[in-house]
Structure 1
Amino acid sequence: MNVFRQIVALAATITVIAGLLTGCGGNEKRADGKVEITFAGWGSTPEESKLLEELLADFEKQHPNIKVKHEVIADQYMDVIKTRLIGGKGPDVFYLDAIEAPALIETGVLEPLDRFITDDFDVDDFEKPMIQAFQQGNQTFGLPKGYSTLALFYNKKMLNKAGVQVPETWDELREASRKLTTGNKIYGFGQNPELARTFFIAQSLGGQVVKDGRANFTDPAVLNALQPYVDQHLTDKTAAQPSDVGAGWTGEMFGQGKAAMVLEGNWAIPFLQSTFPKTDFGTAEVPTIHGKKGTMAFTVAYVMNAASEKKQASWELISYLTGKEGMKAWASKKFELPTRKSVAAELGYDKDPLLGPLVKGAPYATVWSAGSTLPTIFNNFNNQFVSAYIGERSLREALEDAQAQANEEIEFQLYDQ
């Protein structure tokens, strides 16, 4: 039995024991009469950390009977969380990325939140794709704290100089890229040749990248959807990846003026405004592909440890942070977009010139989450896709190898249960 399956077995035992303890007075109080709950997350910027501490202080003020012990796990976050869950020392509440959610939900270590959720909490206010990422069956295992979608960032000066309108379709983007490219110094389009950024493109013709928990890269619909993306780099020579121009990521590539257009998330806005203040840029919804809208979404939820002996207090924290008041305070600094539609509207983000296109993408976004095997699948895709992207071999050859290797690893993992 492999290590992760040992986690599953032990976690199930811990959950049963914890359930018994909960019924026997698990909400023990401290000497000061308060119930202390632990809350874990990963590291962030000083500004984000300060805001979170302010929110936790406000929560404690509104809930004088609860004390929150906040812990930042700076490195190897999920490994640390899983190890602590095994040992029965997991936090009461913690962050969970959507890509990790399916596998952790399957282990049974997460507490379903449905019995805590009331009509007044207004769960329908959440952007549907974001909350669905943390649901299985008819149960909800996490509430998303915020999200980031992708939008088209475009350099206004470059487009005006070339007489190019902001593209609304992918064909228009490809044609605009031709007019915006200048040799090998300035490219019309900056690309990210990795699955997390191209997943929605790969499925734009109706193909499935992941099917029945297995890699499905050689689906003709997937190959045909990705080929134009590669062709724009190799054949048109109007697109490039950041390393082609000495940049670290497409946001930097765009800010340096080496790409006229890129697909980026809302995190790029403060970066560009502070690092490249002279760059006059705009955002627009991602151009449609074959007449359909599409984009990616990345989201993280607050989840509850099923072994927690302090479930009611833990829920009070989760409901505060993802309620309308707490989410408004968190989203007001624009670190993330609010997953509640009402909060986005109240803050005016849906009509904001830069944030508006990102908010509009939320209802139809493809969330970066597709079952428990996605980490294995995307690692193998990324390892091989780049060889096709730089022209070492055909897209079919590269993805045949990626698919075979991914599925071999998945079969081994299942066999080793």
Structure 2
Amino acid sequence: MNKKLFSFLGILLGFSLVIVGFNNLFLSNPSTSSDIVTIKLSGWGASAVEQKLLKQLLQDFEVVHPAIKVKYEVINDQYMDVIKTRLVGEAAPDVFYLDALEAPFLMSQNVLEPLDSYIKPEFDLNDFEQTLLNSFKYENQIYGLPKDYSTLALFFNKQALSEKGFTNPPATWKELLSYSHKLTEDSNKDGRIDKYGFGEIAELARQAYKIKAYNGQIINKNGYAAFASPEALKGLQLAVKQYIEEKTSAQKTDVGTNSGSEMFAQGKVAMVIEGNWAIPYLKETFPNLEFGTAEVPTINAKKGTMVFTVAYVMNKKAKHKAEAWELISYLTGKQGMTKWTENGIALPTRKSVADKLGYEQDSLRSVFVAGVDYAIPWQIGKYSAPIINNFENQFTSAILGQQPLEKAMRKAQLEANKQIKTIEY
């Protein structure tokens, strides 16, 4: 009887120890899901190829950082308005895209986390193209790390130029005008032009380097519009004269297209100035089109182009800043940037990655890389919207011949500065 009782108690004790052991196991090793930190990343809509590539990159990041999960959100409409509203309402993402154009305003509003304290020597900050990195500096602090960029370059139809006896693309703006005359065709001889020499885009982002060519300014040192000066007008007059008087350039609406890339691809124009983003579009959509690229023709004996870049920035109120930095540093680190830019959709902001991928020797992309050394950053102060909107409204009117250029630009400058003063005060 005693033996049975002791045997039963022994079994019960053993069973109890097993249960305690299991309890201790769970207590000492809590569920991994409770350890995972979620970082929200927001960006704007892009091509299906780009979206797929980013999602793969984020999956790769999560493999390397199993304790961090990235929730990726695409904001398709009114991106900056949505971001600004969420920053005010404290519902902004931890990490998000920020265009260089919008950076000065947000950097001045104390809503972004300075990244200087997170950046370690091994991150190799000097590897970035300094022109691009400087676009995200404010009061000696770094607020964003550029993920990619593009300059502008001249795209030319090889067959069209060859048929007119041109063996090389134009190197100067004077040559571009001369080429445009010969390339502009009225094949039906009915007065209607079927093919233009050059595709003109009236946006300020495509006219700024012309303003700078004659030492004109878009804004002055106080951030007010200054594009109505005689120097600025001299550069802008190049586009107006070619379009109105010479009739050798066309805008996208003249030929029933939606972009410079499209009017070039469809053979409506023989030359156009576009960004690196046009290359995959042309190759995929118009595989039989023979085209080349060259640096933007010089104006007033000066090289000029624009550079557009976007950075990853951190919300100052992000709850998990260390993890947010891990995401930013991976995406803009050498490994992440190589994966992001190796298919040519975008150009790497790190010089070592560009060297590794051979873009300086690439027959189409080398001119974009060369341009970054002298490019004008697309960044025009804290109040870009009034400047851009007023410029483009009035410049479009001038290029269509509805009013003199000088009158149009003075009107645009006056109204832009009036609106800026209203915002400031």
Q: Retained in 1: the 8 A contact 2:37–2:67?
A: yes
2:95 to 93, 96, 100: 93
Residue aligning to 2:321: 311
Residue aligning to 1:171: 174
Measure how far apart 1:30 and its partner are.
7.8
Query: Deviation digits for residues 70-127 of structure 1, max 9, x if unmatched?
Result: 1222222112111211122211111111111111111100011111112211111111
Query: Deviation digits for residues 299-331 of structure 1, max 9, x if unmatched?
Result: 110000111121111111100000000000000
Q: Structure 2 matches for 1:7-156, cutoff 5 A? A: 31-156=33-158
Name the SS for the 1:351 alignment partner: coil
**Equivalent-residue separation in structure 1 for 2:378 and 2:307 (angstroms):** 6
Q: Which amino acid aligns with 2:182?
A: K
Name the SS for the 1:55 alignment partner: helix
**Equivalent-residue separation in structure 2 for 1:402 and 1:169 (angstroms):** 29
Q: Which amino acid aligns with 1:105?
A: M
Identical pairs, percent: 53
Q: Which amino acid aligns with 2:158?
A: K
Name the SS for the 2:293 alignment partner: strand
**Equivalent-residue separation in structure 2 for 1:414 and 1:32 (angstroms):** 46
**Equivalent-residue separation in structure 2 for 1:112 and 1:360 (angstroms):** 30
Residue aligning to 1:260: 270
Q: Retained in 2: the 8 A contact 1:202–1:225?
A: yes
Q: Retained in 1: the 8 A contact 2:170–2:176?
A: yes
Quick check: which has more Rg, 1 or 2? 2
Measure how far apart 1:49 and its partner are.
1.4
Query: Deviation digits for residues 354-386 of structure 1, max 9, x if unmatched?
Result: 111111111211121121112210110001001
Q: Structure 2 matches for 1:383-398, cutoff 5 A? A: 383-398=393-408
1:207 to 216, 226, 242: 216
1:180 to 179, 183, 195: 183
**Equivalent-residue separation in structure 2 for 1:271 and 1:45 (angstroms):** 10
Residue aligning to 2:414: 404
> What 5-or-longer segments of structure 2 have no aligned partner?
1-30, 187-192
2:259 to 238, 249, 265: 249
**Equivalent-residue separation in structure 2 for 1:35 and 1:170 (angstroms):** 55
Measure how far apart 1:278 and its partner are.
2.0
Residue aligning to 2:189: none
**Equivalent-residue separation in structure 2 for 1:242 and 1:46 (angstroms):** 24
**Equivalent-residue separation in structure 1 for 2:284 and 2:217 (angstroms):** 39
Q: Which amino acid aligns with 1:307?
A: K
Q: When the two structures are aligned, how many residues end up with a matched partner? A: 387
Name the SS for the 1:221 alignment partner: helix
Q: Retained in 2: the 8 A contact 1:128–1:363?
A: no
Name the SS for the 1:364 alignment partner: coil
Residue aligning to 1:376: 386
Q: Which amino acid aligns with 1:140?
A: I
Query: Deviation digits for residues 11-58 of structure 1, max 9, x if unmatched?
Result: xxxxxxxxxxxxxxxxxx984312222111112222211111111111
Name the SS for the 1:385 alignment partner: helix
Residue aligning to 2:206: 197
Q: Structure 2 matches for 1:292-307, cutoff 5 A? A: 292-307=302-317
Measure how far apart 1:225 and its partner are.
1.3
Pair 1:362-2:372 in alignment? yes
Name the SS for the 1:319 alignment partner: helix
Q: What is the TM-score normalised by the length of structure 1? A: 0.90
**Equivalent-residue separation in structure 2 for 1:129 and 1:235 (angstroms):** 37
> What 5-or-longer segments of structure 1 have no aligned partner?
1-28
Q: Which amino acid aligns with 2:259?
A: W
**Equivalent-residue separation in structure 1 for 2:202 and 2:86 (angstroms):** 35
RMSD: 1.4
Query: Deviation digits for residues 210-252 of structure 1, max 9, x if unmatched?
Result: 1121111211110111112211111111111111122221111
Q: Retained in 1: the 8 A contact 2:218–2:380?
A: no
